[in-house]
Chain A
Amino acid sequence: MSGYVIRRKVGEQPLWQHGSPLLGRLDIELTERCDNDCVHCCICLPEHDEDARRREMSTAELQAVLTQAAALGALSVRFTGGEPLIRDDFEELYLFARRLGLKVMLFTNARGVTPEIADLLARVPPLELVEVSVYGMSAQTCESATRCRGSYEEFRRGVELLLERGVRFVVKGALLPGLAGEVAEFEAWAATLPAMDKPPGYSMFFDLRGRREGGGSAAEPPAVGCDVERRNETIRRARLSPADGVRFLTRDRERYLKDMREFCSKFMRPPGDKLFSCGAGHGACVDAYGAVQACLPLRAPQTTVSLRGGSGGGGEGGSAAEPPAAASAAFDTARLRYALTEAFPRLRETRATNPEYLRRCAVCFLKGLCEQCPAKSWAESGTLDTPVEYLCEVAHEQARDLRLLEPGERAWEIEDWKVRVERI
């Protein structure tokens, strides 16, 4: 008799018999502001940046976005930031989303987890694991990353509240010098957390800030409160060297090689001149100011669709993605559908024109190892198709470690790459 009602795990079985919905999940950046000031972060604006706060989507606008996401068939929404918990209306938005039948994935540093929020997450569970970012296992290491006194205490208290209330969460680390010296301690602690069924993931090859100086419109305001160049310099200093990064990735060599054999057999090939070979644009993200993006890091104004209307990207060449009728300044969530059905499919057809990209990236078989993508190119150079040297070096370091390349070889010059991939 239980065949009438079927318990389903999303992802394990196809949910849809008659075609999948237009939108599976919506990512929403509730704010760019954060109560931390992490050295490696490509987003965070100061918590009390009043200008940023004023420009953020209102509660009503966010509720309209959530309603539209549900209408387009989304099963889940990711609340990220900045730090989503610093919004005064977080609980209201969370409950609104859950009452729409959306599961909520929450990315947080846990500092803002109060007893009330922990109770709420326990009573009305998000149905997705909360993801908590960890910057250190002591006040000294954590706060050398967050640059906020007291942040470690608050993080530990937040995590304790989640544990006490039985809210299931996973942790992930930012591989900065502090945490890098505490990996064993971090992973031992992580293994004690009920929802951790594998070792934590790490961010380590940090992105530069995706909002570029001078880019500005209603949907893509200039980064007030954040000196872009200064922040990018700080991020560059926080990055691991390619050699150190690869050393960390290969610390469990046997497991790494096993994973890479499988991975490389599937994903190593030259990408050609089509810029989007990832999932960007198959779903959607909405930034704190109502710009619909093809993926979270891709801030290039010409690739976004503003829910607030206006002339779109502006400032940096205008927006090719905007619908022609977007002249009014009214907040219109129908533009989310437009982004998914018209602007993003068009965007995904974009081809590289930069000769350097065509000479190197388009014919490079390390695509599977390399994080080069339009978003990262935009953050580094202000175009969608400029090779990112740091990521190129990281990929080559990894390839040399895997014996895919000999010292001095450049991957885009290798003709027998298929044979080399098979040899791993």
Chain B
Amino acid sequence: MSIALEDVYKPSEDVVAREIEGEIIIVPLVAGIGDMEDELFTLNDTGKAIWDKLDGQRSLADVVTALSPKFAAEDGTIQRDVLALVAALVARKLLTRA
């Protein structure tokens, strides 16, 4: 599945995302996401910043724009990070297209 900048994504209804002690913890709700007991997903700092913007309203291009002032990154880095994270989250069924 290709991920395009004009696409809009939101957290899957099959997971519950919680913020605990500054960490985003993504807890599978239905079968087929985590494979085993005790399995959860967390995000690294970059992933967390991107996740916070994936609200089902903004396009991925808007997410890149919104993050640009926050990160002093080289041209294209934020876009690459956003697309890569979204691909990883979609592959794990943690994110769906809005």
Contacts and interface: CB of A to CB of B under 8 A. Distances in A.
Contacts of A122: 31
Interface string B13-30: 000111011110111111
- Residue among A6, A21, A100, A102 with the most chain B CB within 10 A? A6
A419 interface: no
Interface string A189-229: 00000000000000000000000000000000000000000
Contacts of A11: 38
Interface of B: 16-18, 20-23, 25-31, 34, 36-44, 46-47, 50, 81, 84-85, 87-89, 92, 94
Q: Is chain A's binding surface mostly helix, strand, loop or mixed?
A: loop
Interface of A: 1-12, 15-21, 70, 73, 75, 98-103, 122-129, 168
Nearest to A13: B42
Contacts of A19: 21
A101 B16 contact: yes
A127 B18 contact: no
Nearest to B47: A4
B39 A7 contact: yes
A128 B38 CA distance: 6
Given A1-B87, A100-B16, A101-B16, A6 B23 contact: no
B88 A5 contact: yes
Contact of A99 (B16, B26, B37, B42): B16
A5 B41 contact: yes
A73 B22 CA distance: 11
- Residue among A1, A5, A9, A126 with the most chain B CB within 10 A? A5
A4 to B, nearest CB: 4
- Residue among A7, A75, A126 with the most chain B CB within 10 A? A7
Contact of A101 (B22, B25, B44): B25
A8 B44 contact: no
Contacts of B40: 7-8, 10, 15, 75, 127
